[in-house]
Amino acid sequence: MLKSYLSNPPHFFKAYKSNINRAPRKEFLKITKDINKGSVLKVLSKNFNMNNNLLLFKKNKSPIGQKIIIKGKVINGRGNPLKGIIIEIWQANAAGKYRDKNDTHDAAIDPNFLGYGATKTNSNGDYKFKTILPGAYPWGNHKNAWRPKHIHFSIINENISNRLCTQMYFPNDFLLNYDPIFNSIAKRYRNSLIAKFDNKNNIVPIT
């Protein structure tokens, strides 16, 4: 996964209502004080519960929903793989419900699904997660607003001050046409956010 600043959405996107009051309106401050980024990342990584399996099996019961495997690769601007990068994901369950006390959606919590995972890239820059296909859910952005199926990603590299937060979507989801978050991305970059099915290995690769 390669970060391109050209593909970033604008800080202020009018159709995304939650963005109106929290988007920065002034110039960003430059951080001039140097920090030992390597040691910070080392300490940070120790505090992560590295578990790339979001599925729980209690009393021989499996999570509800379609099980999927997500894999991807993290590379730098020169195309070289990056080792030891922390990848986090979090998502709603198959019913569109987050394991979060602040989630007011009236769908059920799945006791066999964590909804959160973290891992590190290997020497080839590769990572993998076992999870389920998330469900869509309503939100209050506009009338009859529903968020499309998506998975949140956080990617932290060796430069601890540089974190990429993004979302992965799924093909053939009609809700993408109405989602202001997805549509805040320039058209030429939107397909890069949509997962591709790997028919050879029966997995969902993220490139």
* Residues marked as catalytic: 98, 137, 147, 150, 152
- Give CA 30 to chain center in angstroms: 26
Q: Tokens 């986090």 identify what position?
A: 88
Which pairing describes strands 163-169 and 150-156: parallel, antiparallel, or unpaired? antiparallel
Alpha carbons 181 and 174: distance in angstroms, whole number: 14
Cα distances (Å, whole numbers) of residue 43 to 38, 52, 116, 141, 199: 9, 20, 20, 38, 39
Alpha carbons 193 and 8: distance in angstroms, whole number: 11
- Write the CB contacts of 38 (distance below 8 Å, at least 6 apart in sequence): 158
